[in-house]
Every structure is written in structure tokens, then in C-alpha cells.
Amino acid sequence: MSGTRKKQGPKSAQTSRGSAVSGPCFYGTFDSEIGRVYVAVSGGEVVALSFTSGSEEEFQEETAVHLGRVLSRSDAAVREVISELREYFRGTRTAFGVVPHVGGCTEFQRRVLKAAASIPYGQTRSYAWLAKEAGSPRAARAAGQVMARNPVPIIIPCHRVIGSAGGLCGFAGGLRALDLKRMLLAIEGVKM
């Protein structure tokens, strides 16, 4: 990309410390290179991100059940998140400035999400590495389950976690999951 400077956020995505979402939740949607993306925010944090929900209503219902909150549509509330995601899809953003909410997680889940957030743009790590970084080196499968339930994929880059043999596996993105993982990695210059 000649003439385009890559925008960098913080070195790795930060994670919030709190328990559950307590304030009002807002959501928005946009079309991207991988299809329709849905985003929800609360209290300045990204609480949900999905590119697998079938419709806006399904996303709203699924997220409301997960968060225990009713969501209201607000393009203004999600503007910054959508802007950063669009930059990511164009290949001009290598790290996110928006903060993902990981409240309501166990300590192990929080450590796994933090480790995943530390994986640099354009690089991959194994599930075994993720478990080791989270302080539980024998818990690669459990770390994989945390990734499968990651509420804010892309921002917490679960797509950068691959099998120990170096292949694509275990991406919770619906029927086209591995293709999506491959596409996200390709945006970052990783060929699989």
C-alpha cells in the first residue's frame, strides 16, 4: 500500500476489569469485506462484535440475552469502533484503540483473552502458546473454548490463534468459519 501509513493503536488491545455490563447498550452495523458486521458498546467499551448473525434482529436478541440488557440502535455510539474496524479491513490499522469489555469472565478466561490480545498484527500463535501465556500450559483445549466464546473477535484477535501444527482450526464463525479466519489473516499478510 504505497502512500498509506498504518495507524497503530496501543501496542495490544486493552481489556476492561469489571464484572458485568451495567450501563445502557447500543449497537450498530456496517458492511465490510467479510460481510455484515454487528457491534455493541456500553460504557465506552466494545461488549459484542459479530459477523455471523443472520439479521440485525438476531444479533440484537442474541446479544441482549448474553448481556442481560436490551440494546438500542445508535450509529453515533458505535462510530469510533466502526471507523477502526473499517481501517483494519482496509489494512491501515494494526492495533485497536477501542477497549473490549471482558467483565463477567473467570480469571482464567481473562488471562486467555489478555494473551490473545497481545498477539501482534500479522503473526499467529498456537492454542498451546495461549494456554502457557495464560499460566495454564496444559489447558490448550480450555484456551480454545475461551477463543470460541470470544465476545469481541478481531479486536481480541482469536483469528491469530492456530493449531500447533500450523494449520487453521477452531474458529467460532459459523459455517464459513475457517474461510473467515483465512480472510482475516490475509488482511494482515499471513498466508495460510
Nearest alpha-carbon partner for 177 in 189, 161, 155, 165: 161
Summarised one tens digit per residue, pLDDT across range 124-144 is 999 999 999 999 999 999 999
Instruction: Spot the catalytic one: 25, 105, 158, 169.
Output: 158
Going along the chain from its start, the domains and CATH numbers come out as 25-100 (3.30.160.70), 107-187 (1.10.10.10)
Average pLDDT over residues 31-48: 94
DSSP-based three-state secondary structure for 187: helix
169 belongs to the catalytic site: no
Summarised one tens digit per residue, pLDDT across range 60-115 is 998 888 888 889 999 999 999 999 999 999 999 999 999 999 888 899 999 999 99
